[in-house]
Amino acid sequence: MEILRNRGYVVCGVGDGPKGYSTVNAQGVWSGIGVDFCRALAAAVIGTKDAVKFRLLTTGQGFQALQAGEIDVLSRNIGMTSTSDTSLGVRFPGILVYDGQGFMVRKSQSITSALELSGARICVTAEGADEQGILDYFAGLKMPMELMKFPKLSDAVMAYANKSCMVLTTDISTLGYVRQELADGADHIILPEMATRQPIGPVVRQGDDEWFNIVRWTLYALVAAEEFGITAASIDVARNSPNRDVRRFLGIDMDLGRALGLSADWTQRIIRQVGNYGELFERNLGQKSPLRLERRLNSLSSNGGLQFAPPFR
């Protein structure tokens, strides 16, 4: 922790894609929900969201860089599994996005559920786990279907665009990107079901409990802020709230930052500079982004989703 503060910035491993998680433009400016999370960490620890340097890494390179101490956190589209969380010398402090393998169809087909896809011809890429995911899903439902397998996602997308199949399947976040790239993107919908679930979150080196706690509770702070209705625009008003839970969360009536090695106002800095979880999701993956994904499992638990924060006390 002291090494990081003396350095003056957080080193964050990211990937150039998929869109919505972490991408860089021609001017070298990074964006995405994984990128914003790193900025939240920088705001909490250093005091400014700009105190972060991004390092482009593949998934495998990211794990190696963590183990070697070359980066502080890996924040790209890496799914948490029992193997990745227990046998690679790294840990997942929490879940930033609940993603998973979904289904995209044309609105003109009048299909509203994957349960209506019996006998459908489905385009899938064989380069990852999507093929097995779709086979297991339909086997579990005892529904027939026909797979059209392609070596690359781009080939599967082309076949779907040419109507060689009625369904395209891959990660929901990727389907959102594909949809906005299609010439008739508004004519396609992503069905509510998922063939597989993929919880994605930041990754840290195993054994550094202090840093693990900071990363974990930074994520919880983003979610708690949304639960309290505190946004980047309303943070100063929230400081005057009579609600005891809000005042503890903001470090006004209780210094919760001390146990983490942070200042009392660390949550205020995060929300003021980066926003709450809902703001991060909406501008990078949700309705204010080109992907226009619905929140679904990423909604707060009070709205039927899986996101909630433990008490700040």
**Per residue of the chain (313 residues), what is the pLDDT tens digit?**
678 888 999 999 999 888 899 999 999 999 999 999 999 999 999 999 999 999 999 878 989 999 999 999 999 988 898 998 998 899 999 999 999 999 999 999 999 999 999 999 999 998 778 999 999 999 999 999 999 999 999 999 999 999 999 999 999 999 999 999 999 999 999 999 999 999 999 999 999 999 999 999 999 999 999 999 999 999 999 999 999 999 999 999 999 999 999 999 999 999 999 999 999 999 999 999 999 999 999 999 999 999 999 999 9
Beta bridge partners of 100: 197
Radius of gyration over alpha carbons of the chain, in Å? Answer: 21
Q: Of 243, 240, 304, 307, which Cα lies nearest the Cα of 277?
A: 307
Beta bridge partners of 167: 122
Count of other CB atoms within 10 angstroms of residue 215: 29
Instruction: Say if CB 117 and CB 103 are below 8 A apart.
Output: yes
5/89 Cα distance (integer angstroms): 24
Find where tokens 């929901």 sit. Answer: 172
Q: Which residues contact 217 (CB under 8 A, 6 or more apart)?
A: 260
- What domains are defined for the chain? 2-96+201-300 (3.40.190.10), 99-198 (3.40.190.10)
Alpha carbon of residue 36 to chain centroid:
10
Count of other CB atoms within 10 angstroms of residue 260: 18
Q: How many CA atoms lie within 13 A of 130 on its CB side?
A: 25
